[in-house]
C-alpha cells in the first residue's frame, strides 16, 4: 500500500534523497541566479515606456528615442539568451536526477518486484522518476523561482504611486488565494490519478501475460468491461484535476488582464488629477502584469508540481 503523502512525509522523503543531489546544487544555484537577472531585465519594458513618454516625447528628441530603442533591443536580446540558458539548465538537471537515481531505482525494482501486488506496481518507481524528471525539465521550476520577485515589482508599483501599488497588491493577494485554492482542490484528484493509473496498467499487464487462459475460458469480454470501468474512473480523475487547474488558470489569466486595466484606470485618474505623468500609466500597467505573471504560470504548472511531489515522496520511501 502506498504511504500517506502528507507534507511531513514528503519532507522526510526529500531529506533521505538529499545526499544523492549534492552534485546538483550548483545547477540550482545557477538557475536561481539567472532567474534573478531575468526578473531584473523584465523591468525593461516598463522603464522603456516610462522614459519614452516622460523624456523622449516631451523633449521631441529623436536621438533620445533612438538611444532608448537600441538599449531596449540589447537588453531584450540578453534576456532571450538567458531564458534559453535557464531552460537548458533545467533540462540537464532533470537528466542529472535520472542519472543519480536510475541504478538505485532499478535495484529496488528487482528486489521488491516479487512482493508487488500487481505487475505495474513494481514499475511505479520508473514512472515516478520520469515524472520528477519531466517536471524539472519543464517550466514549473522557473515559475516557482520567479514567484519571490513579485515583491520587487509591487515595491516599484508603490514607488510610482501608492494608488497603483495598492491596486497591484490587491490583485496579488487574490492570485495568491487562488494558488492556495488550487493546491487544496487538486491534491485529492492527483492522488487518485496515480492510484488508478497503477490499477489500469496492472490490469493490462496481467491480461497480456495470461492471454491464452483468458481467451480459452471466454473471459475477454468480462475483463474488458472491468478494465473499462477502471479506465473510466481514471479518466474521471484526470478530468477533475484538469477542470480544477484549467479553470483556475483561466480565472487567473482573466484576473491579471483585469488588474492591468484597473492599474491603467488608476494611472489615468492620477494624470487627470495631475498627480502622475502619462508614462507612469503604461509603466504601472506593465509592472502590475509582470508582477502577477509568475502566479499564473505556477497555477498552470501546479498539476505537474503536485504529481512530481508525490512521485518524489514515493521514491524517498522506496530508496530509504
| The pLDDT of residue 17 | 55
End-to-end CA distance of the chain: 16
Q: Which residue has the higher pLDDT, 152 or 220?
A: 152
Which residues have CB under 8 Å from 281's CB, separation 6+? Answer: 264, 267, 268, 270, 271
Taking residues 38-43, report their average pLDDT.
90
Taking residues 114-119, report their average pLDDT.
54
- Tell me which residue has cell 494558488: 179
Answer positive or negative: Cα dihedral of 281, 283, 287, 290. Answer: positive
Percent of the chain with pLDDT over 90: 9
| The pLDDT of residue 79 | 92
Q: Which residue has the higher pLDDT, 235 or 88?
A: 88
pLDDT grade, residue 1 (50/70/90)? Answer: very low
| The pLDDT of residue 119 | 54
Instruction: State the average pLDDT for the chain.
Output: 77
Distance in angstroms (rounded) separating the CA atoms of residues 14 and 19: 10
Q: Which residue has the higher pLDDT, 9 or 51?
A: 51
| The pLDDT of residue 70 | 94
Amino acid at each position: 500500500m502506498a504511504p500517506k503523502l502528507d507534507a511531513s512525509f514528503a519532507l522526510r522523503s526529500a531529506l533521505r534523497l538529499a545526499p544523492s543531489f549534492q552534485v546538483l546544487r550548483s545547477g540550482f544555484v545557477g538557475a536561481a541566479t539567472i532567474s534573478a537577472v531575468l526578473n531584473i531585465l523584465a523591468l525593461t519594458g516598463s522603464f522603456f515606456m516610462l522614459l519614452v513618454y516622460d523624456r523622449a516625447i516631451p523633449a521631441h528628441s529623436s536621438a533620445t528615442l533612438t538611444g532608448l530603442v537600441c538599449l531596449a533591443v540589447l537588453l531584450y536580446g540578453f534576456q532571450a539568451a538567458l531564458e534559453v540558458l535557464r531552460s537548458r539548465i533545467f533540462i540537464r538537471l532533470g537528466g542529472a536526477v535520472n542519472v543519480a537515481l536510475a541504478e538505485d531505482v532499478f535495484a529496488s525494482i528487482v528486489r521488491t518486484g516479487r512482493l508487488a501486488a500487481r505487475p505495474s506496481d513494481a514499475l511505479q518507481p520508473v514512472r515516478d522518476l520520469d515524472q520528477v524528471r519531466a517536471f524539472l525539465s519543464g517550466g514549473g521550476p522557473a515559475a516557482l523561482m520567479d514567484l519571490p520577485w513579485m515583491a520587487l515589482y509591487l515595491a516599484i508599483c508603490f514607488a510610482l504611486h501608492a494608488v497603483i501599488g495598492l491596486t497591484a497588491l490587491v490583485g496579488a493577494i487574490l492570485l495568491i488565494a487562488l494558488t492556495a485554492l488550487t493546491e487544496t482542490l487538486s491534491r485529492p484528484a492527483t492522488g487518485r490519478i496515480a492510484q488508478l493509473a497503477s490499477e489500469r496498467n496492472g490490469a493490462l499487464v496481467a491480461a497480456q501475460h495470461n492471454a491464452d487462459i483468458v481467451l480459452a475460458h471466454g473471459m475477454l469480454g468480462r475483463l474488458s468491461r472491468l478494465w473499462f470501468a477502471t479506465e473510466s474512473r481514471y479518466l474521471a480523475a484526470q478530468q477533475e484535476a484538469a477542470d480544477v487547474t484549467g479553470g483556475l488558470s483561466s480565472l487567473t489569466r482573466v484576473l491579471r488582464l483585469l488588474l492591468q486595466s484597473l492599474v491603467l484606470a488608476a494611472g489615468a485618474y492620477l494624470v487627470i488629477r495631475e498627480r502622475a505623468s502619462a508614462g507612469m500609466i503604461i509603466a504601472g500597467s506593465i509592472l502590475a502584469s509582470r508582477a502577477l505573471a509568475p502566479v499564473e504560470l505556477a497555477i498552470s504548472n501546479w498539476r505537474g508540481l503536485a504529481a512530481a511531489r508525490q512521485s518524489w515522496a514515493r521514491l524517498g520511501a522506496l530508496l530509504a
